[in-house]
Structure formats: structure tokens, C-alpha cells
Structure 1
Amino acid sequence: MLPIKPHLWFDNQAKEAAEFYTTLMPDSAISFGSQLHNTPSGDCDIVEFTIAGQPFMAISAGPLFKFNPSISFMINFDPSRNPEAARRIDEIWSKLADGGTVMMPLDRYPFSERYGWVADKYGVSWQLILTNPAGEPRPVIIPSMMFTGAVAGKAEEAIDFYCSVFKESKRGTTAPRPEDMGPDKAGTLLFADFYINQTWLAAMDSAHNHGFGFNEAVSLLIECETQEEIDYYWLALSADPKAGQCGWLKDKYGVSWQISSTFMSEVLKSGSPQQIDRVTQAFLPMKKFDIAALQKAYQG
């Protein structure tokens, strides 16, 4: 399996945002851009890019969904691997905070000498942290899920669930609350991370009244090589296998996933405009992707 790609839903700024993000750190670049025509959202720009080696997808598909901190992206600054980490964290913080909203100021905290949480000018949420690594190294960027509202306190359960679904999985760091902390109960997760499909993810619980939860603005994209894989992940992850649309589903915790095909990526990267349009019109009525039907549409 390929690494999981966070997928970002913008109103109309996907290309602009990708250009901005790829200026932040080394090992960042736009891989390709394409456009889907005649969708329910009109013509939609699609762009694939990497930030510090982490792959992302983004789409401009209208103002249906808004970013919130339920899924953020941790940026790890490791002094043992980069002597300039302390300077770099301040530099990148300044760029992300420009025009954005600071939720936790960049400062010293009990868990880190330098940490901050900010939503950038597009609303995408980032946690920047100066790490003191021990054990297995982590990637620069890790998608992080906050379990709040109706699913507060279920982060541990969710990690176990995800690790049971994905064949290549393992637990990493686990830091439960040692005692009750306001509305957060002892044993719920301050922080934990886990590894599935060549991808590190993080999770935490928060029982505070945040007023937000998981939505489609940030989804997790799984690219499958076979119909068998698509069928497996659709059935394993979907809270309602009869729901979903265009390969999108929601799991029992409300997290949005896209179960896609490597064939779709190939079409978007190398197909002619006519082939892309035919495949687009083929997948729009689908719930779970049918690779054979997509290939037939591609061939005309």
C-alpha cells in the first residue's frame, strides 16, 4: 500500500495554498495539477504536492466545508537532526501565523521548549513543536486527530480500531492523562501516535466544548491498486457501507476517508482532457469506486 495522503478541501485556493506550503521547508514540491469539469461544484482544480516529504492532495470545490482544528498537522523540529531547528521553528511559525489565527502562542510549555498551535490564512491548522526525540524517529509532518464532542475519550479505542483495519500497523508513544483534568478524565489521551500504511498519525482527546468536529475539509486518502483492496477498506472503515459518494466515506468516529484507486491518479496525471472528463462523469454517480467501470470510461 501507498502512504496515506491528507486531502484538503478548499473553496477556490487549492493551487495558491499548495504554492505557499511548498515554500515553507525543503523536500517540498508540487507534483501535478489537473482540473475536473462539470462536477456538482463546477470546475474543480486538483493539485498534489509534498511538504517536507509528506504527500498531500488538495481540491478547490466550493465553500461546502470549513477547516477546523479537529485534524491538524504537527511539524516536528528535531535539534538532533537539524542544529538550526530552533531558528527554523520561529521562521516557519511567522509564515504560518501571518494572516492566520493563533490558538496556542509559540512559547515554552511543560512538554516542549518551543511549541505553538496556529490556523494559517486558509484555516488549515498546524502544531509546531521542538522535539526531544527518543527511540524511533518520526517524520517531519504528522497528521493529528483531536477526538472531541461526541467522540471525546475515544481516541484510544479509535487507534486500536485503525491498527486492526490496516495490516501494516503498530503503536508508538502513548501518553494518557494521569488524573482528571477539568472535563478530561484520567486515562484519556493527552497524546498518542501510531503507524498505518507507511504513515504516522497522532491522536488526542479533548472533552472541552470546542464547537467543532471532524468533517470533509480534511480527509484521509487511501490509494488502492486492486478492486479487492477498495472493497476491503470500504467495508472495514465505513460506518454505513451504503452511504458515501465518489469514494468518500465516514468512519464510526466521524473521520472522513477517501478510498480511491491508483488508476485514478494515473488518469489525472497523464490522461488527456477528454479521458479525464469521461472518467470524471463515470465516478460522480459512484459510491464505492468500480475500477473496471473507470477503465472502460477511460478507454471510451
Structure 2
Amino acid sequence: MKVTQHLWFEKDMEAAIGFYTSLISGSSVQWVSAVPADNPSGPAGSVKIAVFTLGDQRYMAIEAGPLDPFNHSFSVMVECETQAEIDRLWDALREGGSAEHCGWLKDRWGLSWQIAPRRLGELMNDPDRDKAKRVAEAMLKMVKFDIAGLEAARG
């Protein structure tokens, strides 16, 4: 079996997936197709479908007009090795969108992302629960994650 995440875009699907795949290494667009004229979904070209990967995850997208907007019920999490990776992705995805706490943001299409350091999981699972608690407290005060700040909070 294959599991594929599915995203519904009101408009600009190709721009969105082109942008996403340009930001995340190992990503690509496999194909984009317009639904033909004899499809009951609408006039020819009014519906587009695409298949793409972000890193090691497979996605399908559809552009078919308004339905339900993206919300926090579905998000994409990217674990980064370095602060430079976090900064690059955060800045690019936040442009035209909005920042939220704990590494969360919404991009210009309304899709929720969490840009997090891989190290955060290790710090949160420290066997010294006092250290883990300090990291959690620091994390909750952050908007964009700061690896050095998390490490400093651990002590």
C-alpha cells in the first residue's frame, strides 16, 4: 500500500507546489494535468491535478475552486539539522503568510507548517526531566525555533 497526502487548492496549485519543491531538498513534481473537457468536474481546464514529493513524502494536489480552507488539522512538519535550514525555510514559507508560536506558520496559501530542529526531539526526551522541562518552557516562548536557545535552556 501507498499512503499519499492530498491537498486541495482553490487556486495557484502549480505555483504552490513549485515553490514547496524548490525549498525542500529531495523534492520534485512528478506530473501536473488538467482535467479534460468530458469530465463532470467542470469545464475543460477548470480542474488541475498534480503529484509531487516533499522530501520522502508523496503528495497529490488538486486545484478545483473553493472548498474548505486549509487549517491546523493538517500540517507539514519539516525537521531541520541546522539553524540555517530553519531560517531559510521559515523566511521563505512565512513570506505572504503568518508566523505562529512553537515553530508554526501559515504560508501564503494558508497551509500550516512546523519548521523544527531535529534536535528538539532529543532535548525533549532527555532522561533528566528537569532539563527536558526547561527546554519545553523555552520552546513555548519561541515563535521561530532557535537551536542555541533550546540548548541554553537545557543547561
Q: 2:86 maps to which residue? A: 230
- Does residue 1:254 correspond to 2:116, yes or no? no
Residues 202-241 of structure 1 correspond to what in structure 2 (within 5 A)? Answer: 202-207=60-65, 210=67, 212-240=68-96
Structure with higher helix content: 2
Q: TM-score, normalised by structure 1?
A: 0.47
Structure with higher strand content: 1
- Does residue 1:265 correspond to 2:88, yes or no? no
How far apart, in 1, do the equivalents of 2:98 and 2:149 lie?
Answer: 19
Q: What is the Cα deviation at residue 165 of structure 1?
A: 1.8
Q: What is the Cα deviation at residue 184 of structure 1?
A: 4.4
- Does residue 1:191 correspond to 2:49, yes or no? yes
- Does residue 1:285 correspond to 2:141, yes or no? yes
Note closer, same or farther for the CA distance 1:160–1:184 as it changes in structure 2 (3 Å cut).
farther
2:5 to 125, 129, 143: 143
Q: TM-score, normalised by structure 2?
A: 0.87
Letter in 1 for 2:106: K
Q: 2:12 maps to which residue? A: 154
Letter in 2 for 1:264: L
Q: What is the Cα deviation at residue 185 of structure 1?
A: 4.9
Q: What is the Cα deviation at residue 243 of structure 1?
A: 2.6
How far apart, in 1, do the equivalents of 2:125 and 2:46 lie?
Answer: 43
How far apart, in 1, do the equivalents of 2:108 and 2:97 lie?
Answer: 11
Note closer, same or farther for the CA distance 1:164–1:180 as it changes in structure 2 (3 Å cut).
farther
Q: What is the Cα deviation at residue 176 of structure 1?
A: 1.4
Q: What is the Cα deviation at residue 193 of structure 1?
A: 0.9
- Which structure: larger Rg? 1
How far apart, in 1, do the equivalents of 2:34 and 2:8 lie?
Answer: 14
How far apart, in 2, do the equivalents of 1:180 and 1:189 lie?
Answer: 12
Query: 1:235 touches 1:241 (CA, 8 Å); kept in 2?
Result: no
How far apart, in 1, do the equivalents of 2:36 and 2:154 lie?
Answer: 56
Long gaps (5+) in structure 1: 1-76, 78-139
Q: 1:175 maps to which residue? A: 33
How far apart, in 2, do the equivalents of 1:252 and 1:180 lie?
Answer: 33
Query: 1:153 touches 1:189 (CA, 8 Å); kept in 2?
Result: no
How far apart, in 1, do the equivalents of 2:127 and 2:19 lie?
Answer: 37
Note closer, same or farther for the CA distance 1:144–1:161 as it changes in structure 2 (3 Å cut).
same
1:295 to 137, 145, 151: 151
Note closer, same or farther for the CA distance 1:142–1:185 as it changes in structure 2 (3 Å cut).
same
Q: What is the Cα deviation at residue 270 of structure 1?
A: 3.7
Same amino acid, percent of matched pairs: 35
- The C-alpha deviation readout for 1:215-240, integer Å capped at 9, x for no partner, is 11211110011000000000111135
How far apart, in 2, do the equivalents of 1:172 and 1:203 lie?
Answer: 11
Q: What is the Cα deviation at residue 297 of structure 1?
A: 0.6
SS of 1:264's equivalent in the other structure is helix
Long gaps (5+) in structure 2: none
CA RMSD, aligned part only?
A: 2.3
Query: 2:98 touches 2:107 (CA, 8 Å); kept in 1?
Result: no
Note closer, same or farther for the CA distance 1:180–1:250 as it changes in structure 2 (3 Å cut).
farther
Q: What is the Cα deviation at residue 204 of structure 1?
A: 0.7
Q: What is the Cα deviation at residue 153 of structure 1?
A: 2.8
- The C-alpha deviation readout for 1:116-146, integer Å capped at 9, x for no partner, is xxxxxxxxxxxxxxxxxxxxxxxx1111101
How far apart, in 2, do the equivalents of 1:238 and 1:179 lie?
Answer: 37
